[in-house]
Chain A
Amino acid sequence: MEIQGRVKDLTEKYGAENMVVIIGGAEAEAAGLAAETVTAGDPTYAGPLAGVVLGLRVYHAVEEEFKNEVDPEVYDEQIGMMEMVLDVDEISKEVSTMRNEYSQYKD
């Protein structure tokens, strides 16, 4: 809830076009929910983003799109282990579905 509030405040301050949200959640379903929240609004209607359509760019830390943007050594040091543990395909599927459907930036 607090994080939803922070995303909302930061977006108001810097503009949606300057925001990228990186999700770190371990479960695909939860990651999808988080992606939906920062694009289409909080589906549970419980937090500050209920009914607020931000349409932000959103990626999970294990998605290729994010991985390709960072120094491979740093990636391996920080995320390499979790990449092995998490269901990368399932997470990527959930998050990219939300991103493709609701993000206002298709770059």
Chain B
Amino acid sequence: MSYPTIKGASYILVHAPDMVLNNGTTQTTEKYLHPDSEYLKNLPSHLRTYEEAVNYLPNQVYIGNHHPDELRKYEQPWHDKKIEGATREGRFGEIMPQDEFIGMMKIVDSFDLVKLSVEFTKDVKAKLIKHPLITDEMVANLKQGETLSDIEGLIQEHGAEGLFFNGKLVGCVKRAHDVDQNLNAHVLFENLVSKASGVLAALHLLDKNDIIPDEIDYVIECSEEACGDMNQRGGGNFSKAIAEVAGLINASGSDIRGFCAAPIHSIISAASLVKAGTFKKVMIVSGGSTAKLGMNGKDHVKKDLPILEDVIGGFAMVIAENDGENPILRTDLVGKHNVGTGSSPQAVITSLVTDPLDRGNLKITDIDKFSVEMQNPDVTKPAGAGDVPNANYKMIAALGVKRGELERSGINDFILNHGMEGWAPTQGHIPSGVPYIGFGREDILKGKIDKAMIIGKGSLFLGRMTNLFDGASIVMEKNPGNIQEEKGVSEEEIRRLVAEAMRDFASHLLKD
């Protein structure tokens, strides 16, 4: 059987402190309900500088500069730990500063909705022109800029949403319709952030893995935003919008939604498309969300911590035909939470972890690394949500004990050997199984591990259409290398077999 492979992955972050203040829903809700609250007064002094966000170990892990194994070498919390040699650029992507990202929002804007001031445009143009992945053609999209008074007018009189940098107004996102709530400035702001961060992830994916843009056949986008108008709220298609800017001229695409589980559903779909031979190379891409910036800010401020949810995340990966080298995706070892599965943690973990393993006659301990919801515990622990990856590993281990594959006393060792500390920002779909794929691919290629299971879960009930929970999983493993053999019996082999059968038949005739 010839399986599809993971050809490469990219991971990007955008430092966005002004968007924490102006666009994160915890903050916008607080401004609406308690505009004079202590939290809003104290919040700005808890924001990190760009350098602080770059010098943060989980962020350096996310972009590939440190392996997740290194997280255990540093005692938690990590926000006050100094790390050596932190850089903006990473093996998998980069941490983009907010001003350049605002420039990216303008670059990816197809409808002249983003207006930037003349001065800011000049500054950001000088920076983006030096960016190795931003072409001159992209920079030209920044145009010349507008006067600040025109921008203020659009905000005050025409419902535009302000774009701020270091607390100063530098531009705005206009609404695209006077009445349509799905095309108001708030929605377009979120969608343009998602598109721009998705584009950045796609550009890094192509660059870091020597992927020729023309060879991408199809793109699946899996963020948590919805683009459309009042007649089709979630009409889509972020995929083609991102593919267009990234220059994927031979690609079509579509969006997959499923809350935090969308990335794993996308991986399964992309892998199946490649396995079926429908497409040869499928890109999965997602940008991040402004809504979740500073989501747990109240707890962080209360505990005098910095606002750690100050980055927008993004990722991309390519799933391609078997090349005999890259790790394969076992499309026959897929787990899924069914409508009838039930919502008890035991039922969920069974459906996602042990059901697919049983199909492959594998034990829980045969999986070297489990990539679950890799949320950064630095963010979740002070907010009372505990250590999310650790809680997942405990459940997987406990199921292993129940199945007799693990001693109860071996739970902690199992977590140490088969688990990891979390490092991904709490942007829903961003930590959901996918952060390890880049490292997992390298760990498998280096022979460090053989098998990893990627697990994603989603809280469907948040959309109020069902009380159901969701999740899915897939196993990635070392490529056995023998593609020819995998493809089945060759023509020559068939000739040999037929000839042998004929000889056999003839000898029987002679005997008779």
Contact = CB atoms under 8 A, between A and B. Distances in A.
B386 interface: yes
A9 interface: no
Given A29-B384, A84-B401, A85-B395, A78 B347 contact: yes
A71 to B, nearest CB: 14
Contacts of B401: 84
A26 interface: yes
A87 B349 CA distance: 19
A22 interface: no
B349 A81 contact: yes
B398 interface: yes
Contacts of A81: 345-346, 349, 395, 398-399, 402
A30 interface: yes
Contact of B344 (A27, A30, A78): A78
Interface string A67-90: 000000000011111101100000
Interface residues of A, number: 12
Contacts of B398: 81-82, 84-85
A27 B386 contact: yes
B317 to A, nearest CB: 31
Nearest to A81: B346
Contacts of B344: 78-79, 82
Interface in B290-314: none
A6 B351 CA distance: 30
Contacts of A77: 346
A82 B347 CA distance: 11
Given A85-B391, A85-B398, A79 B386 contact: no
B384 A27 contact: yes
B496 interface: no
Contacts of A80: 346, 402
Contacts of A79: 344, 346
Contacts of B359: none
Contacts of B394: 85
B408 interface: yes
Interface string A16-51: 000000000011011000000000000000000000
A81 to B, nearest CB: 4
A5 to B, nearest CB: 14
A98 B344 CA distance: 25
A85 B394 CA distance: 6
A57 B184 CA distance: 48
A4 B347 CA distance: 26
B345 A82 contact: yes
Nearest to A80: B402
Nearest to B394: A85
Contacts of B346: 77-82
Interface string B341-359: 0101111010000000000
A30 B385 CA distance: 10
A79 B346 CA distance: 7
Given A82-B346, A85-B395, A26 B386 contact: yes
A91 B344 CA distance: 18
A81 B386 CA distance: 18
Interface string B365-389: 0000000000000000000101000
A47 to B, nearest CB: 14
B449 to A, nearest CB: 25
Contacts of A85: 345, 391, 394-395, 398
Contacts of B411: 84
Contacts of A26: 386, 391
Interface string B389-414: 00100110011011000001001000
Contact of A84 (B342, B347, B391, B408): B408
B384 A30 contact: yes
Contacts of B384: 27, 29-30
A26 B399 CA distance: 16
Contacts of B408: 84
A26 B408 CA distance: 20
Q: Which of A26, A29, A30 has the most CB of B within 10 A?
A: A26
Interface string B111-153: 0000000000000000000000000000000000000000000
Contacts of A84: 398, 401-402, 408, 411
Interface string B317-352: 000000000000000000000000010111101000
B94 to A, nearest CB: 36
Interface string B428-450: 00000000000000000000000
A17 to B, nearest CB: 27
A77 B347 CA distance: 8
A85 B391 CA distance: 8
A87 to B, nearest CB: 11
Interface of B: 342, 344-347, 349, 384, 386, 391, 394-395, 398-399, 401-402, 408, 411
18 contacts: A26-B386, A26-B391, A27-B384, A29-B384, A30-B384, A78-B346, A78-B347, A79-B344, A79-B346, A81-B395, A81-B399, A82-B346, A82-B395, A82-B398, A84-B401, A84-B408, A85-B391, A85-B395
Which A-B residue pairs are the 7 nearest by beta carbons? A84-B398, A81-B346, A85-B394, A78-B344, A81-B398, A85-B398, A82-B345
Given A77-B346, A81-B395, A82-B344, 17 more contacts: A27-B384, A27-B386, A29-B384, A79-B344, A79-B346, A80-B402, A81-B346, A81-B398, A81-B399, A82-B345, A82-B395, A82-B398, A84-B398, A84-B401, A84-B402, A85-B345, A85-B391
